[in-house]
Amino acid sequence: MYRKIIKRSLSNMRDSYLIYILACSFAIGVFGILLSMGDNPSVHYALRWWNSLIFDVAIIMSSIFGFCAFVYMAYVGGFFVKQQRNEFLTFEKLGMQRWTIIMISFLQTTIVQAVAWIIGLTFMVIFQKFMGMLLVYLMQMHFDFVMHIGMNNIQLLIATFVWTTLTLSIINAIKTYRILKKKERRTIVKTRWWLRVPAGLFGVVLLITAEIATFYLFKNMRTISYSSKPLTEIVYILGSDIFGTYLVYFGFLPTILNIMEKIHSVSYSGINIFSFKYMKERLFQNISILWFVTELSALALALLTFCYFGYQAVHQNYNSAYPFELAANKDTVNVIRHELKKNDAKIRGSYKTDVKINLVSYYNKSSESYIRQPMTFMSYSDYKSLPKRMRKNNSKINAHQFLKIDYSSSIMYRNKSDEHNIEVKGAPMIQTAKQGNSFPYGSSMHFGPMMIVPNSYYQKMPSEVKDTFYGWDFKKGDRLKRSQLQKLDSYRDAYYMRVKFRSSLADSSIEVMKKEPNKYETAIYTQSGFLRQGSIKKHFKQGGGFYLFIVALFSVALLVALGSVLTLRILLRDDYQSSQLRTLQKIGVEESEIKGIIRRENTLTFLIPIVFALVQSFAAIAMFDFGRHISKNIILIYGGYIVLYGLFGIISFKVSWRCVKQKFKL
């Protein structure tokens, strides 16, 4: 008898259970793949340079992913228990013992979880090779990815299956017990408009203050290492966004729907008043779900935005540090050219620029102190003759303006404020200089800031030291061997400068030393002899590829979770809502009209959260320094997310309409 009851319950909700099982199976498969990456011998060998870093990250990410998947299973699994509420109460009225009903709920959950795990582990075995090849492609590596699942991982997966299935079954059994104990449906208290509207207005105030706090957060982010203010702002922003969004839904959505119901041109057109009432009540009941999905959608978009800007910032920082594949100065250029000839390196482009080193003094706003130091000077014409990638992220200047290039205190924060009153030894004071962070020939080639000056200023300015920088781009790398690099390592530092500061800048001077000083002082600066991308470029691409792999997995999984939650809420109508659709059918509503009801309900359920999430995300981007103009890449990322999200909406409508037709035999 129990087997027949469970079979009938699973059959009646087969479409809903199928969506839930597929979503759970996807999560289980991804969890297993992340685990297997951690001890895969082929990955271990190919990424031996990273030691255990990537594998530790894989274990941490799999743990976080597994926890989130468990929360999803527990939350969504409760939908099915609520759906069977009347069924369980009927069983009790017919004389079935309470523990028997609880056991039926327990066994149903166990069966569903077992099926999900079987499909998920099958997915893991089948797609492990594909995911491994995707990781290899993103990391731009060349090695044979071998399918491997270690015994430790197998034991961990079995233990996870047993404990999660047992825990979820107990949770649903407890929910069933509470239903049988209370019996009566909880009375829904309708909140009056005079309470909803102020609550909604307060929610708007919270959201506005959250955006203002976001603006200050981006300004204060560079102080996060020594100040608690950014963390306080982050906590406030999260709390205001979460509670503000809920209050807006709670306050304004019911009020707007009630107003629309009063407008006959909107809610009343022949028999449509019944369909509008049905749709309104469904949205009322799903306010919490809409809020939950809105916050998860905003989280997904924020994750994608942060990952994009973070990757972009790291990429810009890397390009600023290594703009050429190989760079040198006049002391090392002959040695490097000789080594390149030995390898017959294919040079794609070569550059040469004369520079001057002079002493400067100015007040720095960031450190709030006066600074005296040597600075490298380059003429405007030489600066413009370099490849565009050298100046892409710097402020634009003309032939009569100055540009100060300095190290950024943060890869995410770029200081664009102008510098003023920079005193230069033996030359006119620089009244105003724009700011930049992208160094020609690479930041590591420079011992300090750099100044781009007009040609006439450069020619008339005296210098303490003169130097020449060289840069090369190659086809398929510089081909330098390990023995050659060991030889070049002795030329890593070209020379040293000891600055003798006096009371005035005019009396100060620079002493050039070829030998490394026995004792370093604050007034000693080192000029690099050469700079090479080499293996750093390969490791950078590997790290970036792994980063994109993890972000892509989490984004797709989050999208699947959001789509399945909304779809299941639409499919799992209770008996009262189903009777409303039957009533519409009995009073003569045509099939096309009922289909329109389902379509509008589905559209609003999917549309409201994504619109609200997009508004929040775009408002946050507008506050971001990088995002004052929305870049094409962000539009493409958000557009792709909306398209995939919309596909879930279309699938949800098709499945929902199919269920209605089968249930009412339309």
Calculate ∠ Cα 420-456-406, nearest 5°: 40
Cα separation, 282 vs 385, whole angstroms: 65
Encoded amino acid at 358, one letter: N
Highest mean pLDDT among 153-167, 532-546, 583-597: 153-167
Structure confidence at residue 237 (pLDDT): 81
pLDDT score recorded for residue 626? 46
As a whole number of angstroms, the distance between CA 424 and CA 372 comes to 10
Is the confidence at residue 273, as pLDDT, over 70? no
Q: HSE-up of 163 (CA within 13 Å, CB side)?
A: 9
Is the predicted pLDDT of residue 18 greater than 70, yes or no? yes
Top-confidence range, 35-39, 197-201, 635-639: 197-201
Burial class (CB in 10 A: 0-12, 13-18, 19+), 639: exposed
pLDDT for residue 454: 94
**Average of pLDDT values for 200-220?**
80
**pLDDT per residue as tens digits for the range 609-635:** 888 777 777 766 665 544 444 566 677
The CA distances from residue 172 to 10, 93, 109, 217, in Å, are: 15, 21, 7, 42
Question: What is the percent of the chain where pLDDT is above 90?
Answer: 11
Distance CA 435, CA 432 (A): 10
For the chain, the residue count is 666
pLDDT band of 115, cuts 50, 70, 90: very high
The pLDDT, as a whole number, for residue 380 is 93
Angle of CA points 514, 515, 520, to nearest 5°: 115
Q: What is the DSSP string of 392-457?
A: TTSPP--TT--EEE---S-SS----PPEEEEEETTEEEEEEEEEE---TT-GGG-SS-EEEE-HHH
pLDDT tens digits, 242-269: 888 888 878 777 777 777 666 665 555 5
Residue 87 pLDDT more than 90? no
Distances in Å between the Cα of 597 and the Cα atoms of 168, 580, 601 are: 35, 12, 6
Region 548-556: mean pLDDT is: 77
**What single letter denotes the amino acid at residue 661?**
K
185: DSSP letter = P
Spatial distance between the Cα atoms of 27 and 333, rounded to a whole number of angstroms = 55
Higher pLDDT, 233 or 521: 233
**Paired strand residues for 498:** 511, 524
Whole-angstrom Cα distance, residue 312 to residue 347? 28
Q: Give residues with Cβ within 8 angstroms of 320, minimum separation 6.
A: 393, 437, 438, 439, 442, 443
Average pLDDT of the segment spanning 169-191: 74
Q: Please, which pLDDT band fits residue 271 given cuts at 50, 70 and 90?
A: very low
CB 469 within 8 A of CB 364: no
How many other C-beta atoms are found inside a 10 Å radius of the C-beta of residue 352?
A: 12
Q: Tell me the one-letter amino acid at 447.
A: F
